[in-house]
Amino acid sequence: MLSREQIDFYNENGYLMVENAVTPEQLKALQETTYRLIDASRPVTETDDVYDLDDGHSPDNPRLTRIKLPHKQDPLYWDVLKNSAITEVLTDLLGPDTLIQTSKLNTKAPGGGQAVEWHQDWAFYPHTNDSVLAFGLMLEDVDESNGPLKVIPGSHKGPVLAHTNADGVFCGAVDPSDPDFHLDKAVTLTGKAGSMTVHHARTLHGSAPNTSDRNRLILFYECNAADAWPILGGGSYIHSLGQRKFYADLQDRIITGGLTMTPRMEALPIRVPLPPAPESGSIFKTQKSGGARSAFAA
């Protein structure tokens, strides 16, 4: 699927844009399923296990920040991950044995849908090696006005920045005044529906509020090589499962190939996301309750 030049670009810059990551038929099905799920949120009055509600959500005006774990809400999202060009990109970058870590469908409502402050995914869930990435499949066209993903090229090769507030509590975002945060180097990733962003787990990224009159629908799959094992203390449900349930859960998360019981260890910069923010059910709650400083405030 990917050319040598594309793989080299990803390795050098920590991100990539891939066009036509799904077929027109898959894209249409994803759009229809997503809008059906958004419509089903109308009677929901509080954030729950499926929906993160945005300010102003109501039966007449459904406003969401996120649909949680879409691959568990409808089998279509899981089928697309396992049977599309996305699958080929995954194995080109991570090898034949891969797992899903989590998924989320960030809906970013029009007219001010929430920003995602600048962060590195690696700060939330460090692993034994950094063969970890995230795909962002655009379900509708994304332009400058509706809060596109922004990345800082090459930041995946640098330090893991502090994601803590003034009291040392994990807030899920970097301090805009950090001297290692080079906002002037940011690149904006826009594209047509069906295009896909790829970013390395250590790449600094964020997205501004949605100022347009359209939803910004991006389906994120966060994946890792099978030999990248999570480190205790990271923000994941798996640490509460116990040994037997963890092993069963691993088998449920296989995308391609199989499991390995031999984690690959690499000497990498790591910070553990502790102590946790007061609320940590999503990055939105972590950043808000942790008092993250905004780089988008201006």
Looking at domain 4-288, what is its CATH homologous superfamily? q2cbj1_9rhob like domain (2.60.120.620)
Cα–Cα nearest to 66, from 226, 285, 224, 233: 285
Mean pLDDT, residues 42-49 taken together: 93
Tokens 């080079």 locate to 182
Question: Is residue 152 over pLDDT 60?
Answer: yes
Q: For residue 280, what pLDDT is reported? A: 84
Cα gap 257→235, rounded to integer Å: 26
For 137-146, write each residue's pLDDT tens digit.
Answer: 999 999 999 9
Q: For residue 36, what pLDDT is reported? A: 97
Q: For residue 241, what pLDDT is reported? A: 92
Indicate the average pLDDT of the chain: 95
Q: For residue 114, what pLDDT is reported? A: 80
Question: Is residue 298 over pLDDT 60?
Answer: no
Alpha carbon separation from 124 to 1, 29, 31 (Å, rounded) = 30, 31, 29
Give the residue extent of every domain in the chain. Answer: 4-288
Query: CB-based burial of residue 32 (10 Å sphere; 0-12 exposed, 13-18 middle, 19+ buried)?
Result: exposed
What tokens were used for 13? 């810059």
Q: For residue 111, what pLDDT is reported? A: 78
Q: Considering the chain, what percentage of its residues have pLDDT values greater than 70?
A: 100
Instruction: Provide the H-helix boundaries in 40-160.
Output: 70-73, 75-82, 85-94, 121-124
Q: For residue 247, what pLDDT is reported? A: 96
pTM: 0.95
Q: Which residues pair with 134 in a beta bridge?
A: 199, 222
Mean pLDDT, residues 216-225 taken together: 97
Q: Considering the chain, what percentage of its residues have pLDDT values greater than 90?
A: 86
- Where would I find the beta strands (DSSP E) of 19-166? 51-53, 64-68, 98-106, 116-119, 132-138, 149-151
For 61-98, write each residue's pLDDT tens digit.
Answer: 999 989 999 999 999 999 999 999 999 999 999 999 99
